[in-house]
Structure 1
Amino acid sequence: MECYYDVPEGVDIRGRYDAEFAKILTKDALKFVAELQREFRNHIKYALEKRREAKRRYNEGALPGFDPATRYIREKEWVCAPVPPAAADRKVEITGPVERKMIINALNSGAKVFMADFEDALSPSWENLMRGQVNLKDAVDATISFHDKVRNRVYKLNHPTAKLFVRPRGWHLPEAHIFIDGEPATGCIVDFGLFFYHNHSEFRRTQGAGFGPFFYLPKMEHSREAKIWNSVFEKAEKVVGIERGSIRATVLIETLPAVFQMNEILYELKEHSVGLNCGRWDYIFSYVKTFQAHPDRLLPDRVQVGMTQHFMKSYSDLLIRTCHRRGVHAMGGMAAQIPIKEDPVANELALELVRKDKLREVKAGHDGTWAAHPGLIPACMEVFNNIMGNAPNQIETNQREDAANITEEDLLQTPRGGRTMEGLRLNTRVGIEYVAAWLSGSGSVPLYNLMEDAATAEISRVQNWQWLKYGVELNGDEVGVRVNREVFGRVVEEEMARIEKEVGKEKLKKGMYKEACKIFTRQCTSPTLDDFLTLEAYNYIVLHHPRESSKL
């Protein structure tokens, strides 16, 4: 029997038909997504072209900085709309993909917020994206459950649960399985539109206390991109008939250009904002990408680029001051560690690193932080509670006036440290293993006691590319060795052998390791740096995963 999605005029579904997906891909929901796409696609295209123009300027030697034309926004006294009571306390947030078991465990984790991720922690196959929408609808309806047949265990929601925030994809990513008027839909419009359409009413009743839904917005480079999101929110609120300012969003400051636009971003989202977040892994990636044509700004090993580096500390301090001055949350960065069950001593050392990092954040003035694993929640929560007590946030109590004089030079200072063969090896190994998992459908991957996502894979890729392009001289045991194609080729070969030893020949053969190695190696050795690793990898998913048109 042939099955079809019931689509409005101008919409073509090219992903496989599934009865569960059809409950999400209703004619009315697709009509709503298509309205958003049609109204804002030219604005999105313009914003992406302005990104390309900025990249050309940086490649010609220019540096990002504060815009003189918007000084009045930075200097004027104004505040965003008051933070909704339902989202006032965000001391610890857990993040992860929109996978069914993960959603249940994260909502039950004891964290204040769960950020359900359609972006860096998710491999955007048709199956993952649509199954994720089904899972989130069930979560909002409080009907979600999962039967783990291997453990013969049923997972259900406890009470209370974490508040739900949803992160759609960035502006740059298309959705190749949904065409609107003959071109791929914008990925984030699909993610936002489907979730909002199906869940806004129940979310506001059960989780938002009259507000919401709540979102995280990734990968912005300029306030014009925030202005588009604000218009999308206003349009969505108007279409379904809810109060203007109901939708609330936190913007990740995870690109170097965006750090100079923080006031402007909050200004554009004034009615819809609940703060900014230090997306520190992507921020490091963006530092290399922004300065790809600047040989005087080479990064040391990625493990040395922490929050104590001057440019990273300046970024965090300025974000806190900006948010608190404007009356919204300043969220800290990710604790990527995962429990080391087989080694209690190593596990305690890892937890101590987490505690130290979180203590630095809360003392600096952050209102909350991120964790990648439920096992980290108690340690993170204890640190924040010890300093903040019963206060839901530090918006009023920690204004960071001392950060008022942070300069462009502070935010651009080149990080210090050495560049080693072990750093090159770790980048290569993690990059290949992550891409292999991503191609196989997993976007959040435990590797070497850390939870890796697309952001950390991007650091690995661009750092390798940078070292190769400029033939950097290594320190440490390989002092005097310059990174070139021959050295890199040997490293790739040896690290693939190590991966085979770690995962076994059978898994290496069945997995996507060889394909991942080709993609990662090609991107590291390309004459020009690709903007995003995930764009080429996404094309591979679309071309090589079985997909059918809407007419089966």
Structure 2
Amino acid sequence: MSQAAKSASVEGVRILGEIKPEYERVLTPEAIEFVADLERKFGERRLELLAKRAERQKKFDAGELPDFLPETKEIREGDWKIAPIPEDLLDRRVEITGPVDNRKMVINALNSGANSYMTDFEDAAAPTWDNMIGGQLNLMDLWAGTIGFTDPANGKTYDVKPLGERATLIVRPRGWHLDEAHVEVDGRPMSGGMFDFGMYLFHNHANLKKTGSGPYFYLPKMESHLEARLWNDVFTHAEKALGIPVGTARCTILIETLPAAFEMDEILYEMRDHIVGLNCGRWDYIFSYIKRLGKNPNYILPDRSQVVMGDAFLNAYSLLLIKTCHKRGAFAMGGMAAQIPVKGDEEANKAAFAKVLADKEREANNGHDGTWVAHPDLVAVAAEVFGKLPEKNQLARQRQDVHVGQKELLEPHKGERTESGMRECCRVGVQYIEAWLSGRGAVPLYNLMEDAATAEISRTQIWQWLYHGADLSDGRKVTPELFREILDDEMKQLRDTLGDERWTSGRFDEAIKIFDDMATAEECEEFLTLPAYKLLVENEK
């Protein structure tokens, strides 16, 4: 990483990533000053809230269970609503997601026919310096009307459809736990989330206003209403600093951690001037459930494939999210359909599409206002279901029949723990980590589009089984020896499948070590992306 003299005009800030010619458009002194101001005002609070997560985890490890907060009972029982939802966010029946760094994918997603598009600086994007700055450039060019390009591989030209014919853009910055190691403010790495948010807002708010849209965000990985309060303060301060009305920036928050499910009312309340809805981030939610309850023997989950949305804690959390949101005038967004088209196998393709259709029918019947897909070809499948809704959303469905308490939100899924399940965890987890270390965050594996949550479920599931010495369905106990025997065998098969050239040119040895270390660690570490990010940054030097 080369230090950049370009940042010398902003006191106390060092840009440690290489500043390529185009990057100067993003990293202007004014923009750097803007994001540095956010870090200086709110960075300490972010770190304090992360420390509170660790304190809370100690209580969970000692046997305490998540529950609704007695001190915020008045908010849960109060009669209040969020601010009115902007016009171009009222119809979000089908949302598509994908990484922000791939220009062609950004254009294809905007043109996919989906109502809205979440472009991702987080779980679907490996946070290399080039990916993060390249993503900002893509979005700046979008709102400047210059995003079109020609693919050098085939000469094909790509450009976005006119406004009104393309998806409404929503941007997901990184979560509170992630740093931006390439930007130091007063000697400390700044928040990745505030960097992503601040740069996008600073560079695009004026062009967004001209189009009649606004700066819209998806906020990930929150664990409490206090973390939502911090985001709200960041939004408000940023808006005032730019001279735009408070409430211009709007967000949807992913409820993808177990503690947050007990604070949905409070999260909506804290961000009531800026929020438009909540989303069921199902894959990260499973990961969080395992992580937060991992040491409790009453909450050991079966194979990942048996932890499905229609049952147990996942079903309860989905229904409670719908009821909570609609009571407050907020959208309740459904979760991801990770299936992608299966080329060359019509039967498998039909089966994949049928799974998506059934999942979307369940969501629509429950009362969700919209849903996610990961591939343009699945937009039509989701639209087949949500397009039949009599209105653009289902805010009128109050779901007063839903009664979900602590017991329902914690009910574990029933099912088997199998060697096959362990093998899948090893196979998918390692391949995803290897791709992430190589700079790719959205990875097609076994006919599913996977992001970081997949690898997190894989390594925490094995960690939990190892911690408890859980029994497999065939009677064997899960031991470190059995895990490594399976991991070694799966990696041998994978190498044979991929070939030596692909294996040696990739980062499989590092990926295997990360997966092994985290699966067998004494404590369940918070995020695999934290140690992996260090390797990612080291590789850029």
Into which bin does the TM-score normalised by the smaller protein fall? over 0.9
How far has the Cα of 1:482 moved from its partner?
A: 1.2
Residues 388-429 of structure 1 show CA distances to partners (whole Å, capped at 9, x for unaligned) of: 13x211112x111111x2111000011111000000000000
Are 1:540 and 2:529 counterparts? Answer: no
Are 1:24 and 2:26 counterparts? Answer: yes
Is the 1:163–1:207 contact (alpha carbons within 8 Å) kept by the matching residues of 2?
no
Q: Secondary structure at the match of 1:252?
A: strand
2:514 is matched with: 519
| 2:523 partner amino acid | T
Q: 1:522, 1:53 → 2: CA distance?
A: 23
Is the 1:301–1:420 contact (alpha carbons within 8 Å) kept by the matching residues of 2?
yes
Q: 1:147, 1:514 → 2: CA distance?
A: 36
Are 1:10 and 2:12 counterparts? Answer: yes
Is the 1:419–1:474 contact (alpha carbons within 8 Å) kept by the matching residues of 2?
yes
Q: Secondary structure at the match of 1:324?
A: helix
Q: 2:496, 2:357 → 1: CA distance?
A: 34
Q: 1:521, 1:146 → 2: CA distance?
A: 42
Structure-to-structure mapping, 1:294-443, within 5 angstroms: 294-386=296-388, 388-389=389-390, 391-396=391-396, 398-403=397-402, 405-443=403-441
| 1:120 partner amino acid | D
Is the 2:4–2:14 contact (alpha carbons within 8 Å) kept by the matching residues of 1?
no
Q: Secondary structure at the match of 1:436?
A: helix
Is the 2:160–2:166 contact (alpha carbons within 8 Å) kept by the matching residues of 1?
yes
Are 1:95 and 2:97 counterparts? Answer: yes
2:211 is matched with: 206
How far has the Cα of 1:146 moved from its partner?
A: 2.9
Structure-to-structure mapping, 1:20-419, within 5 angstroms: 20-98=22-100, 99-159=102-162, 160-206=165-211, 208=213, 212-386=214-388, 388-389=389-390, 391-396=391-396, 398-403=397-402, 405-419=403-417
How far has the Cα of 1:14 moved from its partner?
A: 0.3
Q: Secondary structure at the match of 1:426?
A: helix
Residues 329-387 of structure 1 show CA distances to partners (whole Å, capped at 9, x for unaligned) of: 1000000000001101110111011000000001100000000010100010111112x
1:550 is matched with: none
Give the counterpart of 2:524 among 521, 529, 551. Answer: 529
Q: 2:62, 2:143 → 1: CA distance?
A: 49
Is the 2:115–2:167 contact (alpha carbons within 8 Å) kept by the matching residues of 1?
yes
Q: Secondary structure at the match of 2:283?
A: helix
How far has the Cα of 1:207 moved from its partner?
A: 5.0
Is the 2:122–2:174 contact (alpha carbons within 8 Å) kept by the matching residues of 1?
yes
2:482 is matched with: 487
Is the 2:4–2:16 contact (alpha carbons within 8 Å) kept by the matching residues of 1?
no
Is the 1:4–1:17 contact (alpha carbons within 8 Å) kept by the matching residues of 2?
no
Q: 1:191, 1:385 → 2: CA distance?
A: 33
2:454 is matched with: 456
Is the 2:4–2:17 contact (alpha carbons within 8 Å) kept by the matching residues of 1?
no
Q: 2:383, 2:119 → 1: CA distance?
A: 20
Q: 1:112, 1:141 → 2: CA distance?
A: 21
Residues 234-274 of structure 1 show CA distances to partners (whole Å, capped at 9, x for unaligned) of: 11111111111111000000000000000000000001011
Q: 2:401, 2:210 → 1: CA distance?
A: 41
How far has the Cα of 1:523 moved from its partner?
A: 0.7
Structure 2 gaps of 5+ residues are none
Aligned length: 535
Q: Secondary structure at the match of 2:276?
A: strand
Q: 1:321, 1:177 → 2: CA distance?
A: 42
Q: Secondary structure at the match of 2:383?
A: helix
How far has the Cα of 1:205 moved from its partner?
A: 2.2
Residues 19-72 of structure 1 show CA distances to partners (whole Å, capped at 9, x for unaligned) of: 111110000000000111111112112211111111011011100000000000
Q: Secondary structure at the match of 1:39?
A: helix
Is the 2:302–2:416 contact (alpha carbons within 8 Å) kept by the matching residues of 1?
yes
Which sits farther off after the overlay, 279-288 or 137-146?
A: 137-146
Of all paired residues, the percent bearing the same amino acid is: 50
Q: 2:540, 2:33 → 1: CA distance?
A: 27
Q: Secondary structure at the match of 1:356?
A: helix
Is the 1:92–1:380 contact (alpha carbons within 8 Å) kept by the matching residues of 2?
yes
Is the 2:437–2:536 contact (alpha carbons within 8 Å) kept by the matching residues of 1?
yes
How far has the Cα of 1:150 moved from its partner?
A: 2.1
Residues 151-175 of structure 1 show CA distances to partners (whole Å, capped at 9, x for unaligned) of: 2211111232111100000111111
Q: 1:502, 1:74 → 2: CA distance?
A: 54
| 1:501 partner amino acid | D
Q: Secondary structure at the match of 2:433?
A: helix
Q: Secondary structure at the match of 1:164?
A: strand
Structure 1 gaps of 5+ residues are 547-552
Q: 1:8, 1:527 → 2: CA distance?
A: 43
Q: Secondary structure at the match of 1:296?
A: helix
Residues 453-483 of structure 1 show CA distances to partners (whole Å, capped at 9, x for unaligned) of: 00111000100111111111111xxx01111
Where do 4+ consecutive residues of structure 1 move more than 6 Å? none
Are 1:504 and 2:496 counterparts? Answer: no
Is the 2:4–2:18 contact (alpha carbons within 8 Å) kept by the matching residues of 1?
no
Q: 1:8, 1:480 → 2: CA distance?
A: 63
Q: 1:367, 1:177 → 2: CA distance?
A: 38
Is the 1:220–1:254 contact (alpha carbons within 8 Å) kept by the matching residues of 2?
yes
Residues 294-351 of structure 1 show CA distances to partners (whole Å, capped at 9, x for unaligned) of: 1221110001101112211110000001100000110000000000011011101110
How far has the Cα of 1:3 moved from its partner?
A: 7.0
Quote the RMSD (CA, aligned, Å). 1.1
Is the 2:280–2:318 contact (alpha carbons within 8 Å) kept by the matching residues of 1?
yes
Q: 1:243, 1:39 → 2: CA distance?
A: 20
